[in-house]
Structures are given as C-alpha cells and as structure tokens.
Amino acid sequence: MKTLKEIFNLHKGDIVSIVGTGGKTTLLYQLAKELKNDYNVLLTTSTKIIKPLKGTCDFLYTNIEDYHMNHKVNKSSSITVISKGIILEKNKLIGIDDNDLESVAHDFDMVIIEADGSKSLPLKGWKNHEPVILEKTTKTIGIIPVKVLDKNINEDMIYGFEEFQKFSKEKKIIDNQLIGRICSDCNGIFKNSKKELYLYINQVDSAEDLIRAISLSNYLRDNIIGKPFYFRICIGSSVNGIYYEFN
C-alpha cells in the first residue's frame, strides 16, 4: 500500500490536471490534504467546481484579482484555493485559464487542477471543449470508477450520452473492452492530456471491487496501453484511503 504522492510520483513543481468521472473533487482534496504536510499547495479548476467547505482549505480567493492585490507569499505548508470568480446562486467557482495559472503558479510548490466536469455521474462522453487541460500541466490523472463495470449502459448515468455512444457503439453492458476504448480513443479520457498520464481506477472499496480492478488493469496492460497513450495504472479506494500501483 502506498500514498497518493507515491502512486502518482508527485514532486515539487508538478502541475496536476484531474479528468474523468467518479471522484475528481474528492481526489483533489485528498491529494491536497496529504501534500500539505510538505508543500504549499494551490487547488483550482479550469472548468467549474463547488465552493470548498469550511475547513478544507487555509485560504480561499473566489476572484483571482483579489489574490493578486491582497495575498502575501506564503512559504509555509498550506492549501490555497483560487478561482476566476464565483456563481453565487450555484455556489460554484469559475475556472482559471492559462494566463491566470502563469500569474500564480510560481507562488506554490504544487498545483492541482480539476479540469473536467461530469455532473456527478459515473461515466461521460467528452464534448468538443472538454476536458480543459492547461498548458503548464505536467501530469494528467484520469479517473474511472470500478463500480461501473458490468452495469447496463443507461443514459441516466452518463454525462454527454451522445458523445459516449461513439465509444459504446453496439455494447449494452460496460465491460473491460469498453473502458479500453475510453482510454485509447483520442476523444476519450486522455483527450488533450499533457506529459505523464495516469489512469486511476477508483472506488475499489471491497474484495470484489479489487478483483474487477485487477482484471480491468490486466486487460488494459495487455491490449490498450501504448495504443496510442502510454499511461500508468493506479488502483484505490478514497473511502478506505488505500492506494496501489499496478505493475
């Protein structure tokens, strides 16, 4: 068993973009909580994200201009959340762009970006403008929840169902082959991805989940990795705080 820092090979200076479904925001804050022990961490989004709950960060700037005008460079370990603005009626933070990131990244040891949206649904198809990977990204983490395996394909559980059908085609059930298509298609989970790529198979909360995750990982290793994307596979349970690298 390893830490999140270890399975994603994180180092000072990394800018991590998180995409996919089934736990992006949870992973964002779990990474920040772990990394805060050693680093000054920036959390942000390039799309939209729910305003953080009280106690989940040390500093919150819902307008990046407020950060530029009022912040003092913090050298201690902390978690700072910065956004372009806020949609008050939805309690959502508005994403930053490449220029915004360029203007603040040097103040932090590590940057973690939620770079995709899924309306809290377990699967998605990607629209033309998705995901929004900023240019300075050094690592892209794609999340897929293991619990979708063996489920019937249902429009109610898929964000961007029309786009998703380009992967599913004739399939009625979500299986290893379909997840493989999502991971290998240029319009799939690693669309627009930068530098080092990781697939994080999430929600591996039981022995049965682990068996399915290992089966999926074996299939991806033998049939998908390198065609065209080279990515490392990690397995984990955000609920149990248990994480593994798949070799």
Tell me what the mean pLDDT of segment 59-77 comes to. Answer: 87
Residue 155 has pLDDT above 70, yes or no: yes
Residue 85 has pLDDT above 80, yes or no: yes
Which pLDDT belongs to residue 34? 95
Which pLDDT belongs to residue 239? 86
Dihedral over Cα of 11, 15, 19, 25: its sign: positive
> Smallest Cα–Cα separation from 144: which of 183, 185, 193?
183
Residue 7 has pLDDT above 70, yes or no: yes
Which pLDDT belongs to residue 125? 97
Report the mean per-residue pLDDT for the chain: 95
pTM for the full model? 0.96
What band does 71 get if pLDDT is binned at 50, 70 and 90?
A: confident
Which pLDDT belongs to residue 99? 98
Which pLDDT belongs to residue 75? 66
Share of the chain above pLDDT 90, in %: 90
Top pLDDT among 219 and 118 is at 219
Residue 172 has pLDDT above 80, yes or no: yes
Q: What whole-number distance in Å separates Cα of residue 66 and Cα of residue 52?
A: 17
Residue 94 has pLDDT above 90, yes or no: yes
Burial class from Cβ neighbours inside 10 Å (0-12, 13-18, 19+) for residue 150 reads: exposed
Residue 235 has pLDDT above 80, yes or no: yes
Residue 127 has pLDDT above 80, yes or no: yes
pLDDT in tens, 193-203: 989 999 999 99
Residue 118 has pLDDT above 80, yes or no: yes
Fold type of domain 4-246:
Rossmann fold (3.40.50)
Three-state secondary structure of 88-156: CCCCEEECCCHHHHHHHHHHCCEEEEECCCCCCCCEECCCCCCCCCCCCCCEEEEEEEHHHCCCECCHH
Q: What whole-number distance in Å separates Cα of residue 130 and Cα of residue 20?
A: 10
Tell me what the mean pLDDT of segment 101-110 comes to. Answer: 96
Query: Please, are residues 229 and 184 in contact by the beta-carbon 8 Å criterion?
Result: yes
Q: Where are the domains of the chain?
A: 4-246
Tell me what the mean pLDDT of segment 35-39 comes to. Answer: 93
